[in-house]
Structure 1
Amino acid sequence: MRSLLLLFVAVPIVEIWILIKVGSQIGALFTIAVVILTAVVGVGLLRQQGLSTLLRARQRLQMEEIPAQEVIEGLFIAFGGALLLTPGFLTDAVGFACLLPVSRRLMVRRLQPRVAVWQSTRRPPDSRTLEGEFKRHD
């Protein structure tokens, strides 16, 4: 809980510091323009990646598979989109990393072992279920 509180205090302070430094180098108007541009580009990327992930999840469901990878990626996409709408360069960098497929999949792969997800397409075995094959001979 403390680290979360520290994060909510530290990130805005770092963002303000970076915005001031960048603004002093390129000017306030250009800094604001870059922040707005990253938000606009981010919304477009969010839409495109979100739809792509949704379509992949639907395909898995049609194949009667659990779309665990797509669900986790969807969470990263939503988080990345929120970060891109937050003004600042640090949050934009993390937001783009969450939205770009290569970096997002790398982060998901690193997170997945820590998340217990049952990825089987069958129900969990119980004592009343018998595994076997059935053939009908007429």
Structure 2
Amino acid sequence: MRVFLLLLLLFPVLELFVFVKVSAAIGFFPALLLIIGGSALGLLVMRVAGIATALRARESLQRGELPAEDMFQGLLLAVAGVLLLIPGFISDVLGLICLMPFTRHFAARKLRQRAEAQAMRQRAFQDDPFAARPPEGGHRPNVIEGEYQRRDQ
């Protein structure tokens, strides 16, 4: 948690530092135009990614498949769009990395492996033959089964 807080505080400082260095190299207004262009690209990516993901998910459902892969691809495209939308060069580079297809496929494969491993761990503990069960003569709740009729007088 402290690492996340440190990163949250350090990220804007790094973005500002990189912006100052880039603006010193190419000029203030070209650097500002690059940031505005990156934000516009992020907005476009988010709009296109949402529509494309919805269409691919619908096609997968019509074929009778679960659209997990398509949904994850759409999620990564949305993350890329948000990163491009945030003003700054570091977030733009991270967003462009998320836009690359091989990066999305690699991340999807890793996420699927982690999900399968988690499912195997949960299944291993669910079918445990040595799980603690109440003894036969142990404490059982008092339950009386029967039927009743309400008689109002």
TM-score normalised by the chain length of structure 2: 0.68
Q: Which residue of 2 aligns with 1:26?
A: 26
Indicate the structure (1 or 2) with the bigger Cα radius of gyration.
2
Query: Does residue 38 in structure 1 map to residue 38 in structure 2?
Result: yes
Q: Which residue of 2 aligns with 1:58?
A: 58
- Of 104-113 and 60-69, more deviation after overlay is shown by 104-113
Pair 55,101 (structure 1): closer, same or farther in 2 beyond 3 Å: farther
AA aligned to 1:85 is: L
Q: Which residue of 2 aligns with 1:84?
A: 84
The alpha carbon displacement at 1:70 in A equals 1.6
Q: Which has the higher contact order (CA 8 A, sep 6+)?
A: 1
Pair 11,112 (structure 1): closer, same or farther in 2 beyond 3 Å: farther
AA aligned to 1:66 is: L
Q: CA RMSD in A?
A: 2.0
AA aligned to 2:65 is: E
Identity of aligned residues (%): 37
Alpha-carbon displacement from aligned partner over 1:62-97 (angstroms, at most 9, x marks no partner) = 122211112222221222111111111110111122
Distance 2:100 2:42 in 1: 10
Q: Which residue of 2 aligns with 1:112?
A: 112
List alignment gaps of at least 5 residues for structure 2.
Answer: 120-153
Moved over 6 A (4+): none
Pair 45,78 (structure 1): closer, same or farther in 2 beyond 3 Å: closer
User: How many pairs are equivalent?
Assistant: 118
Pair 3,111 (structure 1): closer, same or farther in 2 beyond 3 Å: farther
Please tell me whether the aligned partners of residues 41 and 85 of structure 2 are also in contact (alpha carbons under 8 angstroms): no
